[in-house]
Chains A and B, each alone.
Chain A
């Protein structure tokens, strides 16, 4: 089995199922199947679990690049789009539960919340910013946008910051968990800053003759991201 086949028939389906597991759990809880209970406040539980799953998957999406670089497993990139789309899926679900089950479709309250409550404003902003990323996640869009695709998709960094901030701000007092998320996000973003700085330094001193340890990743990353995501591409 080639690597491409392994991704297509084994790894991707496994990741797909793993990403749906939290949803399956919440459905069982909401319907009371298999003795699963969401506790006395099922609406909050659904809302929070969807939000937290979205954040978990978002951090996982952001971890793809460092992990593939540090472990020299560039093929891992093939899983990233699915993870990203599941982030969008759970964020939409999180918002839908908030609007339908929590606010019970009270649109006046929704408007007031988005306008007046900062943590909802930033959460809603993050949701809106995810839409163009989801829409342009197809191969066709990647080709069409070319270099601009990556520029656009750098929005994910802002979205991640807004998402963690949204979590931090809605917690009443015990901020340990959101701080944990903030710490992980800081590591993932910090990695990128350090890497970019190292590349700039390497680019600024080309006369040393020594080839960079990770050859030419920065310059070609745009061209590499697009095509390598295509399932048809062979290794």
Chain B
């Protein structure tokens, strides 16, 4: 009676540990296909947000910033997509890319309900927070875990752009206060 229970418990514990460990591992260390997808997702999110803002805003600084987001992230996305193709890398969804997308969808819904200065503030505040998050992910997760040298190099080249965007966003944020 006790033996089967103990056995089940032991196997159960082992299985849980493995499953948990595996999950932890995939969240902490994305593969190259997952990294490619995270990069493309992050770019696409900002392109979409930029397009929305460029249409909605009447503030020239905000409009310039939004157009910059569309221009820059479209270009980075093109390079990333071309590289993925060249490396025969099929971008793969992960918890990270899905999480990014979910948060962005929620934010877009909120922004669509706003207009005027309220919209501007919400958009720019989000851009600051978003670029801080993306920069952190690039530094702590994407670059350190990229195995392919060209992919790593692309991420390293993209990094200064995200930093520039963050600084830009902060400037616009100050001008709205």
Instruction: Verify that A and B bind, or say they do not.
Output: no
Q: Interface residues, chain B, CB within 8 Å of chain A? A: none
